[in-house]
Amino acid sequence: MKVKIIFVMKHLVLALLICGGLYWLSMHRKGQGKDIPRRLGQFEKVSPNIVLIGNSVLRAGIDETMLSQLMNKRIFMASSNGSASVWWYLYIKNVVGEVCHKPEVAVIFFRDHYLTLPKFRTEGKFRKPLRMLSRPQEPLVEQLAYGKDVVPMVWARAEAKERLERRILKTAAKFVGVNKNVASDALANVLGESQMIPEFVTRQQLASEQVNDMRDLDFDACLSRSLLPHMISMLHEKGVKLVLVRCKRRRDTQNDGESIAVQEYMKQLSNYVRANDVSLIDFTHDDRLTLSHYGPGDHLNDEGKRVFTQMVAEKLAML
């Protein structure tokens, strides 16, 4: 009996050590809010009339200077690669909501149903930009996007993986006798998206974004769990008009139509935003963008960028 108790106790001690270590690691969130002052500064410096918020699809799709000239307004583009609704919410809350200057319009560029999917792209490499744009307490994000129960472990994981990969990069750079920035650039040059076959990138992207759960397309159910109502109310309070732009995806140029579930979702989103004094522009069925305008994945090429910027300028001018 005594042997068994000692056996169990030893396992318990080991378990406590491991769990304690994980919890300790999770408490060290390096760089929390580090990006906010820089973003605030950039915003104040431009003092834009229109702020565009989105991810790499926005970066690849809109020519800031051209749009500014076409609309005769100051435009500011706030984007983070791979970002989704949580990053957009944090940007509105911690940057747009806190600057002295008030823009006239905030435009969010989104795809499909990701606007009401707060858990989308919040883990792994996507966690760092979120952490850097977060205040020490972000209860809404923790509750809706991260899920409180797994937070410690997920934070610890994001930290550990980030540190490990940074260390690997440094070691590799030292090994070949270059500095880490050169190493980082080399990696981007050789394995960057621009070096890949667009068709393969698109296939992989679609595979990773497959809607496995039809509940994600149930607008009413998703709305209460999403950050969209909070984004709308924050911008309303500040007196900023919100415009939602649904971008056309590469696959929309090849598909005959959308599924009934997606159509229904868009109809409900449209009704909801209309009731809340928000404009919705849907470019999914706009024939001016064709397959030849796309680069890898949903990113537009230079010609696509020019066409899309014109399309956006036209629509925004009509509002």
Partner 1 sequence: MIFTSTAFLWFLSIVFCMYWLCRNRHCQNILLLVASYVFYGFVHPWFCVLLATSTVADYCCGLALVMTRRYRGVLLGVSLCFNLGLLGVFKYFNFFSANVHAALAACGLRVDCAVLDIVLPVGISFYTFQTLSYTIDIYKGILQPRRNFVDFALFVSFFPQLVAGPIERAGHFLPQIERERRWQWGQFFEAWPLLLSGYLKKLVVADNVAVYVDKVFMLDCPSLLILLVGSMGFAIQIFADFSAYTDIARGTARLLGFELIENFNAPYLSVSPSDFWRRWHLSFSSWIRDYVYIPLGGSQVESWRRFVVVVMVTMCLSGLWHGAAWHFVAWGAFHGLLLLVYHALGLGGRWVPKSKKTALIAWMVMQFLTIVGWTLFRCPNLHWLGQVVTRTEWGISGDQLVAGVIVALTVMTYTLPWMGMIFLESLSSRRYWIKTGYRWVQVAVIALLANPSPQQFIYFQF
Q: Which residues bind partner 1 (CB under 8 A)?
A: 10-11, 14-15, 17-18, 21-22, 25, 123-124, 153-154, 156-158, 160-161, 164-165, 168-169, 171-173, 175-176, 178, 182-183, 185-187, 189-191, 195-197, 200-201, 204, 208, 212
C-alpha 44/C-alpha 65 separation (Å) is 18
In terms of CB distance, is 14 or 319 closer to partner 1? Answer: 14
Measuring CA to CA, how many Å separate 56 from each of 61, 109, 127, 175, 272? 8, 10, 16, 32, 27
Shortest CB 254 distance to partner 1, Å: 15
Report which residue type is found at 1: M
Which one-letter DSSP state was computed for residue 194?
G
- Considering beta carbons, is residue 254 or 271 the nearer one to partner 1? 254
State which residue, 148 or 285, has the beta carbon closest to partner 1. 148
Task: Yes or no: say if 89 and 146 are a contact pair by the CB < 8 Å rule.
Answer: no
Cβ 172 to partner 1 shortest distance, Å: 4
The CA-to-CA distance between both ends of the chain, in Å, stands at 79
The nearest distance, CB 178 to partner 1, in angstroms, is 6
Q: What is the dihedral of CA 85, 89, 95, 98, to 10 degrees?
A: 170
Other CB atoms within a 10 A radius of the CB of residue 68 amount to 19
Q: Is 66 or 154 the residue whose CB approaches partner 1 more closely?
A: 154
C-beta closer to partner 1: residue 155 or 283: 155
Provide, rounded to whole angstroms, the least separation between the CB of residue 183 and partner 1: 5
CB of 132 to partner 1, least distance (A): 18
- How far is it, in rounded angstroms, from Cα 146 to Cα 120? 10
Distance CA 54, CA 122 (A): 15
State in angstroms the smallest separation of the CB of 2 from partner 1: 17
Nearer to partner 1, 63 or 159 (CB): 159
Residue from 163, 196, 174, 56 nearest 182 by CA: 174
| Sequence-ordered list of residues with C-beta below 8 angstroms from that of 83, at least 6 positions apart, any chain | 54, 55, 121, 126, 129
